Chains A and B, each alone.
Chain A
Amino acid sequence: MKALGLKKNLAITAVLVALYFAIAYAIKINLINPFQQVNLIWMGINIILAVSLNVIVGFTGQLALGHAGFMAIGAYVSTVLTMNMGLPFFFAIVLGALAACFVGLLIGLPTLRLRGDYLAIATLGFGEIIRGLLVNIDYVGGAAGINGIPKLTNWPWLFAFTVASVLLIKNFIDSTHGRACIAIRENEIAADVMGINTTRYKVMAFSVGAFFAGIAGGLYAHYFYLIRPATFTFMRSFDALVMVVFGGLGSITGSVIAAAAVTILNATLQSLGAIRMVIYAALLVVVMIFRPQGLLGTKEFTLRTLLGKKEGVGKDAYRKQAD
Chain B
Amino acid sequence: MGFAPSSCFIYFSGSHRGESMELFFAQFLNGISLGSIYALIALGYTMVYGIIQLINFAHGEILMVGAFVGFFAITIFGFNLFFAMLLAMLASVILGVLIERVAYKPLRGSGRLAVLITAIGMSLLLQNGGLQILGTSYQAFPQVIPKKAFHFLGDKITITSYQLLILAVTIVMMLFLNYIVNKTKTGKAMRAVSHDRDAALMMGINVDNIISVTFAIGSAFAAVAGVLLGLYYQTVHPLMGLMPGLKAFVAAVLGGIGIIPGAMAGGFLLGIIEALVSGYWSTTYRDVVVFAILIIILIVKPSGLFGKDTGEKV
- Residues on A facing B (Cβ under 8 Å): 57, 63, 110-111, 113-114, 116-118, 120-122, 124-126, 128-129, 132-133, 135-136, 142-143, 189, 230-231, 233, 235-236, 238-239, 241-242, 245, 249, 274-275, 277-278, 280-282, 284-285, 288-289, 292-293, 319-322
Chain A residues with CB under 8 A of B292: 125, 129
7 residue pairs from A and B, CB less than 8 Å apart: A111-B298, A128-B246, A231-B2, A277-B128, A288-B103, A288-B115, A289-B102
Chain A residues with CB under 8 A of B34: none
When each residue 93-123 of chain B gets 1 if its CB lies under 8 Å from chain A and 0 otherwise, what string results? Answer: 0000000001100110011111111101110
CA distance A236 to B3 in the complex (A): 11
CA distance A181 to B177 in the complex (A): 45
Residue of B nearest to A288 (CB): B118
Cβ of B279 within 8 Å of any chain A Cβ, yes or no, is no
Distance (whole angstroms) from the CB of B46 to the closest CB of chain A: 13
Interface residues of B, dominant DSSP: helix
Distance (whole angstroms) from the CB of A123 to the closest CB of chain B: 10
CA distance A277 to B238 in the complex (A): 14
The reply to whether A288 and B314 form a contact with Cβ atoms under 8 Å apart is no
CA distance A319 to B128 in the complex (A): 31
Q: A114-B302, A129-B292, A322-B111 are in contact. List 6 more A-B contacts (CB 8 A).
A: A114-B298, A121-B249, A125-B294, A133-B288, A136-B284, A293-B114
Chain A residues with CB under 8 A of B288: 128-129, 132-133, 136
The reply to whether A289 and B118 form a contact with Cβ atoms under 8 Å apart is yes
The reply to whether A57 and B113 form a contact with Cβ atoms under 8 Å apart is yes
The reply to whether A285 and B125 form a contact with Cβ atoms under 8 Å apart is yes
CA distance A293 to B110 in the complex (A): 9
Cβ of B173 within 8 Å of any chain A Cβ, yes or no, is no
- Residues on B facing A (Cβ under 8 Å): 1-4, 53, 55, 102-103, 106-107, 110-118, 120-122, 124-125, 127-129, 131-132, 246, 249-250, 253, 282, 284-285, 287-288, 291-292, 294-295, 298-299, 302, 314
Chain B residues with CB under 8 A of A288: 103, 107, 114-115, 117-118, 121
The reply to whether B107 and A289 form a contact with Cβ atoms under 8 Å apart is yes
Residue of B nearest to A242 (CB): B117
Chain B residues with CB under 8 A of A245: 113-114, 117
Known: A63-B116, A129-B292, A233-B3. A281 touches B124 (CB 8 A): yes
Known: A278-B125, A281-B125, A288-B118. A239 touches B111 (CB 8 A): no
The reply to whether B113 and A249 form a contact with Cβ atoms under 8 Å apart is yes
Interface residues of A, dominant DSSP: helix
The reply to whether A132 and B107 form a contact with Cβ atoms under 8 Å apart is no
Residue of B nearest to A320 (CB): B111
The 8 closest A-B pairs by CB, nearest first: A132-B288, A292-B114, A281-B125, A125-B291, A281-B124, A277-B128, A284-B121, A320-B111
Chain A residues with CB under 8 A of B246: 124, 128
Chain A residues with CB under 8 A of B120: 238
Chain B residues with CB under 8 A of A319: 111
The reply to whether B291 and A132 form a contact with Cβ atoms under 8 Å apart is yes
Distance (whole angstroms) from the CB of B169 to the closest CB of chain A: 28
The reply to whether A241 and B117 form a contact with Cβ atoms under 8 Å apart is yes
Residue of A nearest to B128 (CB): A277
Chain A residues with CB under 8 A of B314: 189
Residue of A nearest to B296 (CB): A110
CA distance A10 to B120 in the complex (A): 42
The reply to whether A281 and B121 form a contact with Cβ atoms under 8 Å apart is yes
CA distance A214 to B114 in the complex (A): 26
The reply to whether A321 and B294 form a contact with Cβ atoms under 8 Å apart is no
